[in-house]
Amino acid sequence: MSSLSVGSTPGSANGLAGALARTAHLYERVKAVIPPIEWPVFASDIDAILRLKRERNAIVLAHNYQTPEIFHCVADIVGDSLVLAREAARVDAAVIVLCGVHFMAETAKLLNPEKTVLIPDLEAGCSLAASITAADVRLLRERYPGVPVVAYVNTSAEVKAESDICCTSGNARAVVESLGVPRVLVLPDEYLARNLAVETGVEIIPWHGRCEVHERFTAAEIRDVRAAHPGITVLAHPECPPEVVAEADYVGSTQAMSDYVGRRRPARVVLLTECSMSDNVSIQHPEVALVRPCNLCPHMKRITLPKIRTALETMRHEVTVDRAVASRARHAVERMLAVKPR
């Protein structure tokens, strides 16, 4: 079956047949990666989520690592951590549903203290955020007095509150260079810090955190891909090990990688990042052949359509941040957003 047929599906206008009819235009967006036989599994939840968004005056923010049925069918704003942070500061809706991991929902709450921010699964965490605590940052300040602390957004609100400024993989270089100092603490991603040191010439003091998605890529893997696919373009995330970054043709944030594919239109490309990123980019650029290896993020995959639907139906799970922590963490995030892009 090459196209979705809804005419023969039993049910009322409010049942599956109605949901299929109302979501058929959305299926057209994702049919290259979702087989027709699977769409009825998604259609009812998508239809309900779209209705609930209207009823709740809600907006859905989705990270690039969300699956296509979320990213392309229910999200209102999509992008990497930097895009979501910027857009979260501008939304007018009363309710924000953050389809990503917990630190992203906290960041949205920091920038929208009067709004209700929901995360569909409280267990959607992050190996980087879990690798460092506020107490660790205080100890680092004692060890390196006067050295500015740059906290990756992949950190808890408590860690952000102990930091001078935040950054994302998309603006880390601009943030570090904006400080105008020879020595900077960058935490918690060790590989991002080491890659930044090469890029900026600034002495970067790293923490020992690593992303469980990106740390698994190897330089040998890239060489194997090049051998199997001559002429392929290799794009890597800066959370990858430095030897992987050295082998890549281009290094950038998830949004920068997506923009690169759209701008350059390489015939064949591999994205060294989370698997759903490749699905979402392939939908946006069907003329580009995407070769995968990729690595799954188990935390991102905790977010599903049924959980988004339940979040909007029951208004759970609401993300809150202690007021005293929030004011200090918000300053670090807002200071980051004020840095002009390179």
Q: Tell me the per-residue pLDDT of 31-90, one tens digit each, with 9 for 90 and over.
A: 999 999 999 999 999 999 999 999 999 999 999 999 999 999 999 999 988 889 889 888
As for how many domains the chain has, the answer is 3
Supply 154's token pair: 């992949």
71 and 155 assigned to the same domain: no
95 and 115 assigned to the same domain: yes
Residue 5 in any domain: the answer is no
> What residues make up the domain containing 187?
129-212+321-337
195 and 329 assigned to the same domain: yes
- Residue 223 region, left (φ>0) first, then alpha (ψ -120 to 50), else beta? alpha
CATH of the domain at 89: 3.40.50.10800
Gap between the Cα atoms of 19 and 16, Å rounded: 5
What b-and-e string marks burial along 257-286, b requiring 16 or more CB atoms within 10 Å of the CB? bbebbeeeebeebbbbbbbbbbbbbbbebe
Q: Tell me the per-residue pLDDT of 327-337, one tens digit each, with 9 for 90 and over.
A: 999 999 999 99
155 and 218 assigned to the same domain: no
Q: What pLDDT score was predicted for residue 13?
A: 58
pTM: 0.91
Residue 172 in any domain: the answer is yes
Confidence of residue 11 (pLDDT cuts 50, 70, 90): very low
Q: What pLDDT score was predicted for residue 341?
A: 80
107 and 49 assigned to the same domain: yes
Q: What pLDDT score was predicted for residue 85?
A: 86
Q: Give the pLDDT mean for 12-33.
A: 91
What residues have CB less than 8 Å from 55, skipping those under 6 apart?
none
332 and 208 assigned to the same domain: yes
Residue 266 in any domain: the answer is yes
Residue 11 in any domain: the answer is no
Q: Which residue has the tokens 């922590």?
A: 325
Q: Rounded to whole angstroms, what are the CA distances from 303 to 28, 117, 224, 280?
A: 22, 15, 32, 16
Q: How many CB atoms lie within 10 A of CB 142?
A: 8
238 and 275 assigned to the same domain: yes
